[in-house]
A and B are shown apart, each in its own frame.
Chain A
Amino acid sequence: MKLVNTSAVVLAASFSGAALAQDQLNISAIVNVGYTDREDFSGIAGYGVDEHGSGLKQGFWTDHTELAISAPIDDMFTGKLTIVLDEHEGETEVELEEAFIQTTALPYDLSLRFGRFLSNIGYLNGKHDHTDSFADRPLVYRAFLNGHYYDDGARLSWLAPTDMYLELGTELLKGGTMPAYAEGDGIGAYSAYVKTGGDFNIENSWQLGVSYLGFDNDEGSCSSHSHEEDHGDEHEEHEEEHAHEAFGVCDFSGSKDYYIIDAVWKWAPNGNYKYQNFTLATEYFFVEEEGGLHHEEEHEEHEEHEEHLTSLAEEHLDHIDTSHQGFYVSAVYQFTPNWAAGLRYSQIDFDEPYSDGFKPEVSTAMVEYRHSHFSTVRLQYNQDKSVEEVTDDQITLQFSMALGAHGAHQF
């Protein structure tokens, strides 16, 4: 969904009017603004990524400022609506990130969610960006999930009747938002996940998850912000200035399968999180791609070596059957009620044809000051080696502030 920015103001105004009438309506705005000093984004190896994959933008930004409204609807349903402001090519766009209803009264420990929501795969994906401990999502999330994957669909979740937390869930999704661009209007993406967790003791808690996400992408159904457009009109769609070829975000048609393992450990003295706590989180991605990769040859002499030719003379459709893997590890230590510091490392091992051995990686360090529970000022440094030719030192100053109701956070 895209609206012009004035609509957002109208929406916000009408919702805050409703707040006065109904006590249980939770309205919260997250103002997320900052300044980043970095080189222009030039891709993640040669992998086809959307503009959302670029991370923080150069200069001042207001991305991912959001407005969320949630409330119990009646004794059967609860609902939530989240709209997010994003800047694309100088225009402010309003994206509907969440619009779902969820049951609260199903028997047998089941719940059903219907509408648009963040997929519950992995650890970070189901969480809102503003609850992250870093200003941007890890490289592996930016490359494979476009930062985060939300879509229209339905989720069934079931809690096993065990003493230990064990949740099984499955999602049937439209496949209409990046990284999915599935054909047709039916079910284009599907996921399944198992999450478990517990306490080692009063001070140490853990969570473990295994997820699967699969979809069949179709080039003809792809419409997205292609990052290549940022780099000047003189380039042909798939051409980049650097040596290794970079593919466009819509160049792949075929099946993609994600297998994700996530693990989280949290510690706080006596389990009292106010003064000190420590969080170690890691996620591992294994991504399989099988299908056709749209491909424009830069050098004419290469053309005759290609076996698969499309109807267009200069374009080829290569059959690929590849797999990639990537991970991130992050550690965050809050050492006073006001101060926290964290380190993160993320790396991706792409298969051909996206990379011929080069492994993109980003190392991150951050320190943040929280004046209250509602305001965070964060200074972050990224050493970004997303492409082989460039080592980009990125500095970000971020202000993330919560206005209004401040909802409960996930573990």
Chain B
Amino acid sequence: MRINFNSVLICLASLAAIITLPAKAELNVFACEPEYAALTQELAGDKVTIYSATTAQQDPHFIQARPSLIAKMRRADLVVCAGADLEIGWLPMLQMKSNNRDVQSADKGLFYASDHVQNLDIPVSVDRSMGDVHSLGNPHVHLDPTRITQLAKALSNKLSQLDSENSAIYQSKLTDFLTRWQQATTQWQGQAQELKGTKVIAYHSSFRYLFEFLGMQQVGDLEPKPGLPPTTSHLMTVLDIVEKQQVKLVVYTGYQDEKAAHWLQDKTDINSVQLPYTVGGNEQATDLFSMMSQHIALIKGALAAQ
């Protein structure tokens, strides 16, 4: 038995020719993380169809380049991701396998949030003995409301660039969002006054930008090095930090192992608290506004409880 390859080729070519894609009514947006799905939702509403590749329960460093994601990326007009190598383990594979020429570069339908804000903790030099450090800096930029403002403007521009017909709508949605976001930010800043200078321990550098915004100080990490799970010997040094530096709180999120945080809580008199980290991270965090409010409320609640 032998398959005739000319006929296979002809079949492939004719299939491709027959299926002339109808003009798209709306943009298909592939968001790498829920926070960028939520931001796009705020800025585009029903003008786009949004798919989030990950949930709040999934560590965005460790996503499989699954067949379903390849299929979603094939149809995407715009891919919105954190960037700064957060998705390096899976996004390039999806881009290559998607055969989609529109989402390969930032001048077309690819938007990296970290390209549009100032990233913190850009290392002077990177070497792997430091752990899984991102040479472009910390990619978890969405937890700082002032950076969200910058991102909203840049993403709105990108939407208008790709779908100029609806640019007036994108502009008005941006204005509306920024008004509401600015009000909320002022409110959050007021609520954060009493948090300034509070020392915390966190799992990974996931909350770096939140602490920056709230004026809190992360003095220890449950991970011995970025990307490496907590070890007993490392936790002993963290315990030492808690006792010596008047640390008030341990925070982690749903996709991180809670055992280390609970261990530290049991060994000391400080509380641990699970924060949503992103939209969908708990029941109340249904959009960017409630996500930020939840972070502040949960931190204050945990501090008040002790």
Contact A338 B229 (CB under 8 A): yes
Contact B16 A110 (CB under 8 A): yes
Contact A161 B19 (CB under 8 A): yes
Q: Determine the distance from Cα of A166 to Cα of B66 in the docked complex, in whole angstroms.
A: 12
A321 interface residue per 8 A CB criterion:
no
Q: Determine the distance from Cα of A157 to Cα of B98 in the docked complex, in whole angstroms.
A: 10
Chain A residues whose C-beta falls within 8 Å of the C-beta of B15 in the assembled complex = 158, 160
Q: Enumerate A132-170 residues with CB–CB distance to B below 8 Å.
A: 156-168, 170
Contact B93 A273 (CB under 8 A): no
A275 interface residue per 8 A CB criterion:
yes
Q: Determine the distance from Cα of A102 to Cα of B16 in the docked complex, in whole angstroms.
A: 19
Contact A157 B99 (CB under 8 A): yes
Contact A273 B68 (CB under 8 A): no
Contact B100 A198 (CB under 8 A): no
**What is the minimal beta-carbon distance from B105 to any residue of chain A, in angstroms?**
6
Contact B67 A207 (CB under 8 A): yes
Chain B residues whose C-beta falls within 8 Å of the C-beta of A207 in the assembled complex = 67
Contact B62 A272 (CB under 8 A): yes
B interface: dominant SS = loop
- The 8 Å CB contact of A104, one of B67, B104, B128, is B104
Which of B57, B74, B227 counts the most A-chain CB atoms under 10 A from its CB?
B74
Contact A198 B71 (CB under 8 A): yes
Q: Mark B212-247, 1 if CB is under 8 A from A, else 0.
A: 000000000000010111000000000000000000
Q: Mark A193-225, 1 if CB is under 8 A from B, else 0.
A: 001111100100111000010100000000000
A104-B104, A109-B100 known; A159-B74 Cβ under 8 A: yes
- The 8 Å CB contact of A198, one of B67, B95, B99, is B67
Contact B55 A212 (CB under 8 A): no
Contact A273 B62 (CB under 8 A): yes
User: Shortest 8 CB-CB distances between A and B: which pairs?
Assistant: A197-B67, A165-B67, A408-B93, A165-B71, A270-B57, A105-B101, A274-B62, A337-B229
- 21 A-B residue pairs with CB within 8 Å: A72-B105, A102-B96, A105-B101, A106-B99, A107-B101, A156-B12, A157-B99, A162-B71, A168-B12, A172-B5, A192-B8, A195-B67, A205-B67, A268-B64, A270-B57, A270-B58, A270-B255, A274-B59, A406-B89, A409-B64, A410-B97
Apart from A170-B9, A272-B62, A372-B228, what 10 extra A-B contacts exist at CB < 8 Å? A72-B105, A75-B104, A156-B9, A195-B67, A273-B58, A273-B62, A337-B229, A406-B89, A408-B93, A408-B94
Which residues of B are interface residues toward A (Cβ below 8 A)? Answer: 1-3, 5, 8-9, 12, 15-17, 19, 21, 54-55, 57-59, 61-68, 70-71, 74-75, 88-101, 104-105, 128, 131-132, 225, 227-229, 255, 257
Which residues of A are interface residues toward B (Cβ below 8 A)? Answer: 72, 75, 78, 102, 104-111, 156-168, 170, 172, 190, 192, 195-199, 202, 205-207, 212, 214, 255, 257, 266, 268, 270-275, 288, 336-338, 371-374, 403, 406-411
